[in-house]
Structures are given as structure tokens and as C-alpha cells.
């Protein structure tokens, strides 16, 4: 299968600290790829290199290449706004704006210049339907997003990303603030979305990776130790370090 995202010899520094070491990875489209590994191993860093939010941090440096649809996204020609539209991100804690449900979802389209009310209405509705929120929220669009429960908020954050027409969704431990039952709902949602999206999810929960993902990468100290189909990673890991982690001997 053709890869949607390609990381070639990717090395990343915070100042002098090397947070990613020569990572090579081909992320397949319309599938879920999970990144697992102990805290501090560089999962979030890797995720943020894919939508270039890492460069908002002072003193960082990147070597190697990140290709999306075969194009180098660190090329000087790349329009960063277009890139961030294409690659949406969902964060660890639900971080809805202190705005209404509607305005949260419409935020992206509005900053990208959609003005017509009918058009916005349609985008909001579609995004909420896709995240299974429409039935519950269609009469509460004017409510403050912050009044919703955490899993609704997190799904709203996903809807907000769908609304900008992203093709790739990056999720950084999206369920760490949620309880097990709502976590399952988010997981089901992700599985339903992969038909149309390329999803990369960071998680420190191995069961979650095993449940939702098609491919998994195990990271340790900035290295991608092993990357393979999830079934293979979890049943027959090739690397000793992966095996130790998966069997719970470490991490």
C-alpha cells in the first residue's frame, strides 16, 4: 500500500537534546497507526513533526525529511496554513475554546474564510454527525462547549478537526483524561473514521493500541525500535526491547 506519511531519517533536537534519533517510518493511509512507548520517549515530538507545531518551540532543529503524499512538508514552498488544515491535531486534554459548541466547530472554517452561514451550518452538522454528537447536541449548539462532559468535549475537538477538512488526524493520548467506557466510545469513533482519514494515535495504553490500530510503532529514547502491523507487534515482536515492554517487564 502507498504510504500517506513518510518519515525519512528524521532526527529532532530540542536545543542540544536529541529527542528523535534517525526515525524511518511509512504511515499507511486510511488506517490507524499507534505509537507506543514509555513516557518521554518522543511520541509527542514525533507527532508534532507531522504538522510542524514543533517549530513553535524555540531552539528546535530538524534533520531528515517528512513527506506527506510524497511532498516534503519542510520545503520552503509549503504553505504552513494549508499543511495544518490537512493535518489536524487532537490533544491530550480536551481543549475546547470557551465558545459555543457551534463556534468551536466553525472556528477552523471561519479562520479559513468561510463566511456563508448555510455553508458553516452544513460543515458543523456534518462534523458533528461524523463524531456521533449531532443527535445529542443539535439542540444545544449555542451552549458553551465547556459545559459538556469531557468525552463530549474530546469528540468535539475531533469534530473541530474534521471541520477544517483534514485528511490526517493526529491524536496525542486523546483518552488519558477519560474513563474506560467513554474511552471505548472514542476508540469506536476512530475506527469508524479511518475509512476516510489517516489516523496516527499516541497512547501509553497498550490495550488501546492493540484494540484500535492497524500498525504500531514502539519507541524508546527517541528511537523507533520496531514498527509493524499491530497483530505482529503484539504476537511476535522481533526486538527484545519491544517484547519486554509488551509483556509488561518494562514501562
Partner 1 sequence: MKIKPAFTEQIVKKILFISTAFTVLILLFIIFYILKNGLSVIDLEFLLTSPKELGRAGGIFPCIIGTILLPLIAIIIATPLGVGTAIYLTEYKREGRLTRIIRFGTECLAGVPSIIFGLFGFVLFVIYLGFGWSILSGGLTLAFMILPTIIRTSEEAIRAIPYSYREVSLSLGGTKWQTITRVVLPSALPGIVTGVILGIGRSVGETAAVIFTAGSSLRVPASLFDSCRTMAVHFYILAREGISMENAYGTAAILIIAILFINLVSYWLMHRFMAKFS
Q: Check if the beta carbon of residue 217 is closer than 8 Å to that of residue 25.
A: yes
- Count of residues that bind Mg ion according to CB under 5 A: 1
Q: In sequence order, what are the residues at sequence separation of 6 or more whose Cβ sits closer than 8 angstroms to the Cβ of residue 91? A: 157, 172, 174
In the bound state with partner 1, the residue whose beta carbon lies nearer, of 106 and 193, is 106
Cell numbers at 52, concatenated: 510542524
Least distance to ligand ADP, CB of residue 163, Å: 26
**Is 43 a residue that touches ligand ADP (CB under 6 A)?**
yes
Q: What is the number of residues in the chain?
A: 251
**Is 17 a residue that touches ligand ADP (CB under 6 A)?**
yes
**SS3 label, residue 234:** helix
Least distance to ligand ADP, CB of residue 140, Å: 34
Task: Return the range that interacts with ligand ADP (CB under 6 A); candidates 13-21, 65-73, 184-192, 236-244.
Answer: 13-21
In the bound state with Mg ion, the residue whose beta carbon lies nearer, of 44 and 49, is 44
Task: Return the range that interacts with ligand ADP (CB under 6 A); candidates 37-45, 70-78, 147-155, 179-187.
Answer: 37-45
**Is 216 a residue that touches ligand ADP (CB under 6 A)?**
no
Give the Cα separation of 250 and 207 in Å (integer): 15
Give the Cα separation of 204 and 210 in Å (integer): 11
Amino acid at each position: 500500500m502507498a504510504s500517506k506519511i513518510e518519515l525519512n531519517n528524521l532526527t529532532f533536537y530540542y536545543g542540544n537534546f536529541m529527542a528523535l534519533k534517525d526515525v524511518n517510518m511509512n504511515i499507511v493511509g486510511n488506517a490507524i497507526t499507534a505509537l507506543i512507548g514509555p513516557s518521554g520517549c518522543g511520541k509527542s515530538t514525533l507527532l508534532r513533526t507531522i504538522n510542524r507545531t514543533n517549530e513553535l518551540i524555540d531552539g528546535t532543529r530538524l534533520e531528515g525529511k517528512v513527506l506527506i503524499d510524497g511532498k516534503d512538508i519542510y520545503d520552503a514552498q509549503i504553505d504552513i496554513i494549508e499543511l495544518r488544515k490537512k493535518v489536524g491535531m487532537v490533544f491530550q486534554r480536551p481543549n475546547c475554546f470557551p465558545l459555543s459548541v457551534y463556534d468551536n466547530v466553525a472556528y477552523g472554517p471561519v479562520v479559513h474564510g468561510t463566511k456563508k452561514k448555510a455553508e458553516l451550518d452544513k460543515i458543523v452538522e456534518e462534523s458533528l454527525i461524523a463524531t456521533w454528537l449531532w443527535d445529542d447536541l443539535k439542540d444545544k449548539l449555542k451552549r458553551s462547549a465547556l459545559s459538556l462532559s469531557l468525552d463530549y468535549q474530546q469528540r468535539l475537538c475531533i469534530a473541530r478537526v474534521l471541520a477544517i477538512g483534514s485528511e490526517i488526524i493526529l491524536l496525542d493520548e486523546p483518552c488519558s483524561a477519560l474513563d474506560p467506557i467513554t474511552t471505548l466510545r472514542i476508540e469506536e469513533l476512530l475506527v469508524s473514521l479511518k475509512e476516510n482519514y489517516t489516523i496516527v494515535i499516541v497512547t501509553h495504553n497498550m490495550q488501546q493500541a492493540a484494540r484500535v490500530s492497524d500498525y504500531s510503532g514502539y519507541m524508546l529514547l527517541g528511537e523507533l525500535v520496531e514498527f509493524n502491523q499491530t497483530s505482529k507487534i503484539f504476537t511476535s515482536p522481533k526486538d527484545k526491547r519491544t517484547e519486554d515492554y509488551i509483556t509488561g517487564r518494562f514501562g
